[in-house]
Amino acid sequence: MNQTSHNSLVSFIWRIADDCLRDVYVRGKYRDVILPMVVLRRLDTLLEPTKDAVLEEVRFQKEEMGSLELDDVPLKDASGYVFFNTSQWTLKKIHGTATNNQQIMLANIEDYLDGFSDNVKEIVTRFKLLDQMRHMADKQVLLDVIENFVSPYINLTPHDREDPEGNPLPGLSNLGMGYVFEELIRKFNEENNEEAGEHFTPREVIHLMTHLMFDPIKDQLPPVMTIYDPACGSGGMLTESQNYIKEPEGPIQARGDVYLYGKEINDETYAICKSDMMIKGNNPENIRVGSTLSTDEFSAHRFDFMLSNPPYGKSWNSEIRYIKDGKDVIDPRFQVELTDYWGNKDIVDATPRSSDGQLLFLMEMVSKMKPVGVSPLGSRIASVHNGSSLFTGDAGSGESNIRRYIIENDMLDAIIQMPNNLFYNTGITTYIWLLTNSKPEARKGKVQLIDANLLFRKLRKNLGDKNCEFAPEHIEAITDAYLNFAPIERELDASGAPVGIAAQVFDNDDFGYYKVSIERPDRRRAGFSTERIAPLRFDRSLREPMEWLYAEHGDKVYELGFLKDQAKAIAAWCEEQGITLNARQRGRLADTKHWNNLRDLLKAATLLMRDIGTEETADFNAFRDAVTKAIRTHKIKLSATERNAILNAVSWYDETAEKVIAKRHKLSSDDLEDLTTHLGCATGDPADFGYYRQPDGSYLTYETATDLRDAESVPLKDSIHRYYLAEVKPHVEEAWINLDSVKIGYEISFNKYFYRHKPLRSLEEVTQDILALEEKADGLIADILGVEVATKLEPAE
């Protein structure tokens, strides 16, 4: 279907809604009627030619065979499709026999809908179509709606037709149906100020994806092929992939069987997809409804090809309980095995942040890949993503773990950057990810990046956010670049602006990096004072409400049961102050024992202050020793946590103070050898890793100043120690590497790899351009710049 026919069909259907439903539904609710009616009429038109054959089969089974239950198989054979209708009615017949009695017509419609096979009944149920029919009958508009949908001027079949005047009415393909669906959704939701809820994939993007998916192996396709889309929408990717493989005049002309599988969460879209699967002769049972993330519907399946445009920027908070139990991932699709910096293997989290679940769909497809041992071609995946999938998430995060797993297992084949404003409901930049677990030898250990951001042609009229498209020559250029697997330098036009396509090939580990903490020693000054120890009376996490309670009630807060009686007052005060407390915090706040423990801690600190005095010192090590000695002398019972709470209360960072010692290590020659082997450094280098040799041969490690901690990202191809010596130590002499902190991350930056610096123009050129405008500015610019401009004087008359 061409663009003109598409627009005409959408306009015709929109007029049906506007003419018939204006006083019955608000405009944003037109979709509740129009979308199911489009699907119903589409199925109805296909069954019209074989209606008599189906009715004859019904008569035969009932009268001659004496069957109480109808056999579906002969009925499907009679209809020519995997669905049928055993009632005497078609929409045209219902319209042709209709009277002003809405109840009679509604009864006929109920009989008609009840005559469908179960697979169509499910679609009718998903659309809640019967409820809509009843509502329209009650409002006296049902006949008008049906009359418009059986009009000879609208063609919802896949076959070309003519209207009564002989004008062509092109057939509506599966993808064309998807376009009509998307456009109607967009128009309906604009009326209701809503988002469309999905990013329908443009036809040319699907064509590009099918070329990238199948062209490299077009001579090796297996005799039986399975194709899967975990967010199949109206099924456009599935059926277009099938068309590309099976098209008699197409580039592949494969003779094998193609089986389509998909899952869709939206009932309307699912109904569209399932109806088109039935029309195309595919097995509708392979299309499932529901959340792909919540339920692993195809857990026992592995697929040859997978294509998808999953939702991006969409929260999966409502589905977390099916995937994670607290912090533990319970769905094996979203767990991966990775090796840490020290070579230890572990099963780690492969879930992205809860605000964006697009990478979960990618991992769903990765989990459905066929092992190469089962199929020599393995599996191939093409998935559309926005930019966040390339770089969001630091080393060790779920997003980074996903990228790392895919790249380190040599699955990432290529990523193609597409133009902005290519999709209907978003103007952001999008990317096609190509994955395979069976790379050809030349591509092993490599990733190809293709920047096609500048390849597009403008549309004459915008379709939502879509203002451009790929032309066939653009698809060919991208496909050729992918197949050639060679760098391409972007060309420049006459003005020096970049044009065309660019491509680069990278090693897998070019995208990886070590995330390592760089530490600096803590230097602390310390000294007791009444003001410094006073906050020990209160829990740091509950300081505000505890201070208020103590100010209000004094020592009553230490009386058993008193605080529980103040629960309402405490809640009211917290609400007034804008403080939110969870159940655990509320319990601690009302716990008399907790209050008494904190008072005892303050008493202990007061006793220590009397013993040690209030003189400040720059040597925290000596101060800490004195506190420890005083605790022992007075036999004060303090846990390590309570002791540290006192020390933290009476000390603070001071860059002029002594370094705070963490531990003194006495290392034998064997111990030292083990240490340097572990650190991967020479005998004289432990200081670079936080082990400082002392004159007596021992080694000191220092406490870390957490506020001064820094993090460095070191490329995998570099050495952390070399990087430290070159980039850190010259600037911060006393810093050291914390190797225990190292995490491995992966990210991909198209801007970094394809950015080309454009030199600034010279000052002379800029000045000349400015002065060229001077004549239009009446000398203002010259005055500002302090430049004299020669002017041509006209002779006096």
Domains and CATH numbers, the chain: 3-172 (no CATH), 203-322+353-515 (3.40.50.150), 524-653 (no CATH), 760-797 (no CATH)
Q: Does residue 193 have a pLDDT over 50? A: no
- Min mean pLDDT across 72-76, 377-381, 748-752 is at 748-752
> Averaged over 326-352, what is the pLDDT?
95
Task: Between 402 and 498, name the one with better pLDDT.
Answer: 402
Q: Give the pLDDT mean for 332-348.
A: 96
Residue 422 — very low, low, confident or very high, per pLDDT cuts 50/70/90?
Answer: confident
- Give whichever of 79-83, 404-408, 578-582 has the largest mean pLDDT: 404-408
| Mean of pLDDT values over 454-461 | 88
| Tokens encoding 94 | 């219902």
Does pLDDT of 795 surpass 50?
no
10 or 264, higher pLDDT: 264
pLDDT value of residue 238:
92
Q: State the average pLDDT for the chain.
A: 89
User: Which residue carries 């020592």 as its tokens?
Assistant: 555
Torsion of CA 174, 175, 176, 177, to 10 degrees: 50
Q: What letter represents residue 239's amino acid?
A: T
Q: CB neighbours (10 Å) of residue 673?
A: 12
Task: Report how far residue 548's alpha carbon sits from residue 553's, in angstroms, rounded to the nearest whole number.
Answer: 9
Q: pLDDT digit string (tens) for 571-610? A: 999 999 999 989 899 999 999 999 999 999 999 999 999 9
Higher pLDDT, 103 or 787: 103
Q: Which of 60, 87, 62, 82 is nearest to 72 (CA)?
A: 82
Phi, psi for residue 485 in degrees, rounded to 5 = 55, 55
Does residue 16 have a pLDDT over 90?
A: no
Percentage of the chain lying above the pLDDT 90 cut: 63
CA–CA dist 475, 297 (Å, integer): 34
Kindly state the average pLDDT of the residues 463-485: 90
Q: Which residue has the higher pLDDT, 68 or 355?
A: 355
Average pLDDT over residues 469-485: 95
Please name the residues in contact with 102: beta carbons below 8 A apart, sequence gap of 6 or more. Answer: 137, 138, 140, 142, 143
| Contact between 192 and 30 (Cβ < 8 Å) | no
Give the DSSP letter string of 121-171.
HHHHHHHTHHHHHHHHHHTT-HHHHHHHHT-TT---SSS-EE-TTS-EE--
Q: What is the pLDDT of residue 417?
A: 96
User: In this model, does residue 187 exceed pLDDT 70?
Assistant: no
pLDDT tens track for 497-549: 888 999 999 999 999 999 999 999 999 999 999 999 999 999 999 999 999 99
Look at 726 and 167; give whichever has higher pLDDT.
726
pLDDT at 758: 67
- Model confidence, pTM: 0.83
CB neighbour list of residue 770: distance below 8 Å, 6 or more residues apart: 781, 785
Is residue 91 within 8 Å of residue 128, measured between CB atoms? no
CB 363 within 8 A of CB 316: no
Convert the pLDDT of each residue in 38-51 to its tens digit.
Answer: 889 989 988 999 99
CB 440 within 8 A of CB 485: no
Q: Inform me whether the pLDDT recorded for 248 exceeds 70.
A: no
Q: What is the spatial distance between Cα 571 and Cα 574, in angstroms, rounded to a whole number?
A: 5
| pLDDT reported for residue 782 | 60
98: which residues sit within 8 A by CB, 6+ positions away? 105, 143, 146
Looking at residue 688, the DSSP 8-state letter turns out to be: G
Residue 614, both tokens:
């209030």
Task: Look at residue 788 and tell me whether its pLDDT is greater than 90.
Answer: no
For the record, the structure tokens of 45 come out as 């038109």
For the chain, what's the residue count? 797
For residues 621 and 604, what is the distance between their CA atoms, to the nearest angstrom? 20
Cα–Cα distances (Å) from 436 to 368, 377, 381, 411, 695, in that order, read 12, 9, 6, 5, 58
- Phi/psi of residue 473, each to 5°? -70, -30
Report d(CA 284, CA 289) in Å as an integer.
Answer: 11
Among candidate residues 515, 512, 517, 516, the one with its CA nearest the CA of residue 747: 512
Q: Which one is predicted more confidently, 342 or 176?
A: 342
464: left (phi over 0), alpha (psi -120 to 50) or beta: left
Residue-level pLDDT at 532: 96
Give the separation between CA 778 and CA 762, rounded to whole angstroms: 25
Tokens, residue 471:
């032309």
8 Å CB contact between 712 and 723: yes
Give the whole-angstrom CA distance, residue 156 versus residue 180.
Answer: 10
With a CB cutoff of 8 Å and minimum separation 6, the contacts of 605 are 528, 533, 536, 646, 649, 650
Residue 192 has pLDDT above 60, yes or no: no
Task: Please give the share of the chain, as a percent, with pLDDT higher than 70.
Answer: 91
Burial of residue 276, with CB atoms counted within 10 A of its CB: 0-12 exposed, 13-18 middle, 19 or more buried: buried
The DSSP letter of residue 796 is: P
Tokens 């198209």 found at: 750
Structure tokens at 444: 């092993």
Q: What pLDDT is attached to residue 637? A: 92
Q: Say how far apart CA 765 and CA 767 lie, in whole Å.
A: 5
Q: Residue 792: its pLDDT value, please? A: 44
Instruction: Kindly tell me if the per-residue pLDDT of 797 is higher than 50.
Output: no
Region of poorest pLDDT, from 21-30, 195-204, 317-326, 430-439: 195-204
Is the pLDDT score of 785 beyond 80? no
Q: What is the CA radius of gyration of the chain?
A: 36
Distance of alpha carbon 413 from the chain centroid: 20
411, 363 contact by CB (below 8 A): no
> Which tops the pLDDT comparison, 90 or 497?
90
Specify burial of residue 64 (Cβ count, 10 A radius: 0-12, 13-18, 19+).
exposed
Query: Do 92 and 48 contact (CB within 8 A), yes or no?
Result: yes
Question: Which position has the token pair 């895919």?
Answer: 406
CA distances from 327 to 392, 401, 771 (A): 20, 15, 65
pLDDT band, residue 778 (cuts 50/70/90): low
Asked if residues 704 and 519 have their Cβ atoms less than 8 Å apart, the reply is yes
Decide if pLDDT at 273 tops 90. no
Residue (of 398, 326, 406, 6) closest to 177 by Cα position:
6
pLDDT at 712 exceeding the cut of 70: yes
Average pLDDT over residues 381-399: 95
Say which amino acid occupies 676.
T
Q: How far apart are CA 28 and CA 10, in angstroms?
A: 16
CB 491 within 8 A of CB 500: yes
Place of tokens 């993808």: 175
pLDDT at residue number 298: 96
Structure confidence at residue 251 (pLDDT): 65
Could you tell me the pLDDT band of residue 783, with boundaries at 50, 70 and 90?
A: low
Tell me the two tokens of residue 792.
Answer: 């041509």
Q: Which two structure tokens, joined as six digits, stand for 48?
A: 């019209």
**Mean pLDDT, rounded, for 281-306:** 93
| pLDDT higher than 60, residue 236 | yes
Flag the least confident range among 29-33, 363-367, 433-437, 559-563.
Answer: 29-33
Residue 438 confidence (pLDDT) above 80 = yes
Listed in sequence order, the residues at least 6 apart from 281 whose beta carbon sits closer than 8 Å to its beta carbon are 81, 82
Angle between helices 142-149 and 102-114 (to 10 degrees): 50
How large is the angle between the packed helices 398-408 and 358-366, nearest 10 degrees? Answer: 30
Segment 44-66 shows an average pLDDT of 92
Bridge-based pairing state of the strands 161-162 and 168-169: antiparallel
State yes or no: pLDDT of 216 exceeds 50.
Answer: yes
Using alpha carbons, select from 348, 436, 430, 338 the residue that is nearest to residue 389.
430
CB 223 within 8 A of CB 296: no
Helix (H) or strand (E) holding 338: strand 335-339
| Beta bridge mates, 457 | 469
HSE of 220 in the Cβ direction (CA atoms, 13 Å)? 14
Calculate the alpha carbon distances from 263 to 3, 354, 364, 365 in Å. 29, 21, 12, 12
Q: What is the mean pLDDT of residues 422-451?
A: 92
